[in-house]
Chains A and B, each alone.
Chain A
Amino acid sequence: KAGVTQTPRYLIKTRGQQVTLSCSPISGHRSVSWYQQTPGQGLQFLFEYFSETQRNKGNFPGRFSGRQFSNSRSEMNVSTLELGDSALYLCASSLGGSSLNEQFFGPGTRLTVL
C-alpha cells in the first residue's frame, strides 16, 4: 500500500508570496492532519480535515488555511508569507474513525521563505 505523499518536497518563496502544499493520504484514510515542524518550536498542529470538513484547528493565524477534497486529498495554503514560516510542513493521514487512530506521516515539504 502506498504511503502518504506530499508535493512538492522543497519550495523556496519570498516574503509576501503565497504557497499551496499538497498531501495525498493512504488509500482508505479519511482524516488528514497538518503539522509545522521547526527547530525552535518542534512539531505543532495546524489543522485536521475529515470528510472534507475541518474538524480541529491549532493556534495559527488565519494566513494558514486548508481544504480537503472528496477523494481525501488535502491542500494547505499559506498567504502573505513571513520569514518565520520557513519550516518542514508535515501531513499525516489516519482512518479517522470514532477513536484515536494511528497517524501515518508523509516525508514533508521543506518551505524556505527568503
Chain B
Amino acid sequence: QKEVEQDPGPLSVPEGAIVSLNCTYSNSAFQYFMWYRQYSRKGPELLMYTYSSGNKEDGRFTAQVDKSSKYISLFIRDSQPSDSATYLCAMSEAGANSKLTFGKGITLSVRP
C-alpha cells in the first residue's frame, strides 16, 4: 500500500460545477497537508497548505483535513476552464528536513 493514495481520474466537469478531490494516507506522522496544481509543461505550484486537522478556505478553494480518518479533500467552487490542470496532494511529517510525499495526481478538465 502506498503512503498516499489519490483518485486516479481523469475528471471532467462542466463550468460552474463544484469539484471534490480526495486523498487518503496511511502514515499517522503526517502533519502538513498541501495541494499543488500543475499545468502542462510546468512545475507544480502550491494552492493550499494546512497544518493538522481542520478546514482552510481561499477564494473558490477549500481544503479539509480529517486526521482521524486519514483523509484530505480539496473543493473547488464555481469551477472555471482555467482550473483545468493536474492536482496533486502532498504531505509531510514535522521537521524542517521532512520530504514531501505526493499522491499520483488527478487531471481535471473543466468544460466551457
Contacts and interface: CB of A to CB of B under 8 A. Distances in A.
Counting chain A residues whose Cβ lies within 8 A of the other chain, the interface size class is 20 to 34
B2 to A, nearest CB: 9
Interface string A89-114: 01010001111111111111000000
A112 B45 CA distance: 24
Interface residues of B, number: 24
Contacts, number: 59
Interface stretch (B13-21, B67-75, B93-101): B93-101
B49 A50 contact: no
Nearest to B45: A105
B23 to A, nearest CB: 12
B44 A100 contact: no
Interface stretch (A13-21, A41-49, A67-75, A76-84): A41-49
Contact of A43 (B42, B45, B88): B88
A56 B94 CA distance: 13
A104 B101 CA distance: 15
